[in-house]
Each structure stands twice: as structure tokens, then as C-alpha cells.
Amino acid sequence: MNAYAPAQAPLARDADTTLTEQLASRYAERIRQRLLAPGARLPSVRECARRHQVSPHTVVAAYDQLLALGLVEARRQRGFFVRETAPQRTPPGGATAAQRVPAHPLPTSATALIRGMFQPPGARPMPGLGTLPADWLDLPLLAGALRKATAGAQLGAVSLQYGEPAGEPRLREALSTKLADFGVRASAQQIVTTLGATHALDVVTRTLARAGDSVLVDEPGWSVEYARLAALGLRVLPVPRGEDGPDLAVMQRLIEAHKPPQRPRLYITVSVLNNPTGASLSLQAAHRVLQLAQAHGLHIVEDDTYAHLAPAHLPRMAALDALERTIYISGYSKILVPNWRVGFIAAPLALVDALVDTKLLSTLTTPGITELALAHCLEHGLLRRHTERVMDRLAQARDRTVKLAEAHGCRFASPPRGLFGWVDVGVDTERLAQTMQGEWLLAPGALFHATHRPTTLMRINFATTQDARFWRALDRARAQLSPARPPPGQG
């Protein structure tokens, strides 16, 4: 039984506290943990009663308690919403450990989506997740690699002192060899290890940009990147991302519309398997982007997070310009295991010292044990064989998911590729996520735009959307949102 899903974690009728107090405590805990973001709408009284198998009277009483605590507000004829500011008070009866059940939130912000992605072991896969299912990953491979990394005197060597500021030399050599598979020529001296690809992006941005600078980004793109840049005080300039790459005319207008020193300093892009569309940069578009970068003094930050889930032959700008204006970033959390935060930067040699300085200020160094274990996986072909198995399994999952989606009347806005699908479900996906919250974690399309906009698109994870129960629940939710229209495939 999955304790992560509220529908499978009923309220305790024999507990010391009443059902009303338990329900209020459960929602209060979600709000305080920001699993329900400010502005999120609570389920309707009827829907909440159905989910938790209680009477509508119990739900009304619980919502009244949340109102009294200042955690939610009632909006006439619209329902109950999480307040923008919520005081830290304890609901009547307190919250027991059994009642602190994590929930799948309405992901109205990047951080809310991330919090929802922290699933405990054994939780069922969710359509909005950004990682592979746990049972796809190879724990024996990792265990063996860690044993090798800590054998004999190596354990003391990597544990009792700080490692090299740029990262474990053996890993940097292995990464240099691996990058050649993608046509990227980088010496070990051009590589700096980081705590995952997100940390790599942060190190590069903090090194090359300052608050008030402008940064070009793809749209649609990864909501966490938009939020991260905004938190640094940077001005985000979205460039529409098409099937072959960015809209070059828009990119040029944005560059030329800003005179120095306001002219954009960086273009941050996922060139291969864009998140969420799955599209990859064409060779022609890559050449044109590099020409614009050269003409206007722009650095390109190429995030290749999904490199391991894509064909190696796809164009990388870092390969085309030999790391002249391009800074290449990748990591291994997507393919090995989410909690192995090992990423890296491959950069022009002239920038390496500055990047290492920024890394030292943020993390001092990176963990040598996991870096040595990854080096072992790369050196002995273990990662390559694991990746081949994952790719085969993902192709099968993608085929099954596409058939399920199309059978339920959904349309793919971009050809299905890689880990993610960009799906049109025919209703506002923020409202859909709100309707299905508590049962299924969704990633509505509004998250993937730099400026908020309603959309009928959402991102799905092909590896975690093969459950027919999800698609049936989707049909019911769409019917609830559009009662005049029968669910696709049923009318």
C-alpha cells in the first residue's frame, strides 16, 4: 500500500482526535511544508469528502478550523484558497506522525513542484515527476562502484581532507574522454565538477552575470531555471523555442534592443531534448546561434542534462565552436540516481579559474567519494551498459504512454522523444492539476513559461505515465471541468 497518496491513507476513525481535527491537521501540515503553495485552491467540499471518505459536514468543519488558524481564506462562490501568508500555529489536537502524510500539490510555482517531487521510497510513479522510476535504476552497480571508491587507503585519501577545488582529477579525466562521444573536445583542465547540473548552472550564472543583467532563455523551458535566475535579480528574456531551436529573429531583436551594458550576457539553453517539449537543436540553427553569439559577445550556456537519454550524434554547440563561446553543462542524476549530485562544467580555459573561485565560495569542494565512484562507472563501461538498458526500457514506455494518451483523446504538441512528452489535454492544465491534486502530481504547462499564461498543455514523464488509472482519472477530471463535453474516447 502506498502511504504517499492520500486516497490510500484514510483518516483513523479510532484515533484520539476527531476526523475533523485529523483532516484539518493534514491540510495544515501540507500548507506549512509549502506542499500546497500560496494561492492554491483546496478541493471542493464534495471532492474532499469523497477522497477522505468522510461526510461533507466533516470537511466544512475542518475548513472552518483552517480559516480560524489563518491558513486559508474563503472566496465567495469560488471555494477555499491557501493564504499568501500563513502564521505558524498548531491545529487543534496537534499533528501526529501518522497524520503527517505528504501530498501531491498543485504546482503553482517551481519550488512547489520540486517539493512534490521528493517522493519517499515505494511511492507510486507520478506523471509530473522529472526522474526515472526507482526500479529502473541499478543499485548494485552503484554499490559496487562505491566499494571500489572506498577500498583500502582510498577512503582516507578522499575523506580526511578537502579534495581538489576543481574536482576529483580521475573523474575529470574520465569526463574528458566521455565528452568526446558527443564531439566535445575538452581537456581535464577545462572541467570543473559541481553538485549536479543545477549547481553548475548557478556557478556559471554567478560568475558571468550580476543583478540587473539580462539573460536569454528558451520558452517553453524549465521553470526552476526561470525561478533561479529571477532570485539572482536577473532579467529573463524568453526566446520562443520551436522544433528545430530558438526563434532566431526574436533572439536577434532582443539582443539588438538592449544597448551595452544592458545587452544580454548569456543565452541558457537545453539544446538536446528540451524540457518539456523533447525537441533538439538542428545543425543549421546551432550555427546561426553561434554566429549571433560571436557578433554580440554572448556566452552560450548549453545545458545537456538529458545527454544520456539522447542519441550521441545530435548537434552540440560546444562541439561546433570548440568551447570558444559555449560553456557546456551536464550531470548524472537523471541516469544514475537522483541523490548522487554529480555534475560538471566544461568551459573555455580562460574562465576556469573564475568558475572554481565561485564554486569555492558556494560549496568549498565536491564529494570525492561519489566522484571516484562515478569515475569507476565511466572507466569500466558500467554507465554505458546501464544507459543502454534504460534507453530500451524508455522506448517501450514511450510507446505505451503515447497509445494511452491518444486513446484518451490527447494530442502531442511535439513529437514524442526522450523522457518527456508535451501533451495537449484540451482543458486548462492548472485547473486540471488542482482538480487532481492529492491523487496525481501533474506538471501544468504554465510552469514552463517565463510569464504566467493559461494553457491546455502539460508535461508528462513517459516512464511514470503508463498507469491506466491515471488516464481514467484524467478523463473524470476533464469531465468535471468541462461537463458539457464528454471525455475523449467516450463520446
**Does the residue 118 lie in any domain?**
no
Ramachandran angles phi, psi of 272, nearest 5°: -115, 125
Which of 116-125, 152-161, 197-206, 482-491 shows the lowest per-residue confidence on average (mean pLDDT)? 482-491
Q: Is the pLDDT of residue 214 over 80?
A: yes
Q: Are residues 84 and 193 in the same domain?
A: no
Q: DSSP for 74-113?
A: EETTTEEEE-SS----PPTT---GGG---------SHHHH
Can you tell me the mean pLDDT for 131-147? 92
**Does the residue 115 lie in any domain?**
no
**What is each CA distance from 406 to 22, 198, 394, 398, 409, in whole angstroms?**
40, 33, 18, 12, 5
Q: Are residues 226 and 368 in the same domain?
A: yes
3-state SS, residue 146:
helix
Q: Is the pLDDT of residue 460 over 70?
A: yes
Alpha helices, DSSP H, located in 209-342: 223-231, 248-256, 283-296, 317-320
Span 151-210, pLDDT tens digits? 887 787 788 888 899 999 999 999 999 999 999 999 999 999 999 999 999 999 999 999
Closest CA to 69 of 39, 31, 41, 116: 31
Q: Are residues 374 and 392 in the same domain?
A: no
Q: Are residues 420 and 325 in the same domain?
A: no
**Does the residue 487 lie in any domain?**
no
Q: Is the pLDDT of residue 86 over 70?
A: no
Q: Is the pLDDT of residue 425 over 70?
A: yes
Q: Are residues 365 and 406 in the same domain?
A: no
* Interstrand relation of 443-444 and 266-269 (parallel, antiparallel or unpaired): unpaired
Can you tell me the mean pLDDT for 459-482? 94
Task: Report residue 340 as a C-alpha cell.
Answer: 548522487
Q: Are residues 388 and 245 in the same domain?
A: no
Q: Given 330, 357, 380, which residue is the final one in a domain?
A: 380
Q: Is the pLDDT of residue 436 over 90?
A: no
Task: Report residue 44 as a C-alpha cell.
Answer: 471542493
Predicted pLDDT of residue 283: 96
The single-letter DSSP state of residue 16 is S
Cβ-contact 52, 96 below 8 angstroms: no
Cα distance between residue 432 and residue 437, in whole Å? 8
> For the chain, what is the domain count?
3
More confident residue, 122 or 407: 407
Span 271-321, pLDDT tens digits? 999 999 999 999 999 999 999 999 999 999 999 999 999 988 999 999 999
CATH code assigned at 81: 1.10.10.10
Q: Are residues 294 and 422 in the same domain?
A: no
Closest CA to 446 of 141, 175, 219, 173: 219
Please state, for a pLDDT cut of 70, what percent of the chain lies above it: 88
The single-letter DSSP state of residue 487 is P
Q: Is the pLDDT of residue 96 over 80?
A: no
Element at 63 (helix H, strand E): helix 56-68
Which of 115-124, 194-203, 353-362 shows the lowest per-residue confidence on average (mean pLDDT)? 115-124
Predicted pLDDT of residue 208: 96
Predicted pLDDT of residue 305: 94
Cα distance between residue 477 and residue 469, in whole Å? 12
Q: Is the pLDDT of residue 120 over 80?
A: no
Predicted pLDDT of residue 222: 87
Q: Is the pLDDT of residue 103 over 80?
A: no
Surface-to-core class of residue 285, CB atoms within 10 Å of its CB (0-12 exposed, 13-18 middle, 19+ buried): buried
CATH code assigned at 454: 3.90.1150.10
Q: Is the pLDDT of residue 337 over 50?
A: yes
**Does the residue 132 lie in any domain?**
no
Q: Given 380, 396, 411, which residue is the final one in a domain?
A: 380
Compute the mean pLDDT over every residue in the chain, rounded to the nearest whole number.
87
Q: Given 356, 380, 404, which residue is the final one in a domain?
A: 380
Cα distance between residue 428 and residue 446, in whole Å? 9
Ramachandran angles phi, psi of 445, nearest 5°: -60, -25
Task: Report residue 180 as a C-alpha cell.
Answer: 568526446
Can you tell me the mean pLDDT for 110-130? 70
Cβ-contact 357, 364 below 8 angstroms: no
Surface-to-core class of residue 338, CB atoms within 10 Å of its CB (0-12 exposed, 13-18 middle, 19+ buried): middle
Predicted pLDDT of residue 122: 58
Element at 328 (helix H, strand E): strand 326-331
Ramachandran angles phi, psi of 89, nearest 5°: -130, 155
Cα distance between residue 190 and residue 187, in whole Å? 5
Highest average pLDDT, of 6-15, 76-85, 442-451, comes from: 442-451
**Does the residue 440 lie in any domain?**
yes
Percent of residues in the chain assigned helix, strand, coil, to nearest 5? 45, 10, 45
The confidence band for 6, taking pLDDT boundaries of 50, 70 and 90, is very low
What is the domain extent for residue 368? 139-380
**Does the residue 436 lie in any domain?**
yes
Q: Are residues 372 and 409 in the same domain?
A: no
Highest average pLDDT, of 133-147, 217-231, 391-405, 448-462, comes from: 391-405
Predicted pLDDT of residue 476: 92
Ramachandran angles phi, psi of 384, nearest 5°: -60, -45
CATH code assigned at 299: 3.40.640.10
Q: Are residues 147 and 213 in the same domain?
A: yes
The confidence band for 239, taking pLDDT boundaries of 50, 70 and 90, is very high
Span 341-351, pLDDT tens digits? 999 999 999 99
Cα distance between residue 404 and residue 149, in whole Å? 43
**Does the residue 122 lie in any domain?**
no
Closest CA to 461 of 227, 228, 127: 127
Read off the pTM: 0.78
Q: Is the pLDDT of residue 5 over 50?
A: no
Q: Are residues 457 and 354 in the same domain?
A: no
Place of cell 562515478: 374
Q: Are residues 305 and 396 in the same domain?
A: no
**Does the residue 374 lie in any domain?**
yes
Q: Are residues 164 and 94 in the same domain?
A: no
Highest average pLDDT, of 52-66, 80-94, 372-386, comes from: 372-386
Predicted pLDDT of residue 70: 87
Q: Is the pLDDT of residue 102 over 60?
A: no
Predicted pLDDT of residue 9: 58
Residues 6+ apart with CB under 8 A from 139: 337
**How many C-beta neighbours within 10 Å does residue 301 have?**
26
The single-letter DSSP state of residue 236 is E
Can you tell me the mean pLDDT for 84-107? 43
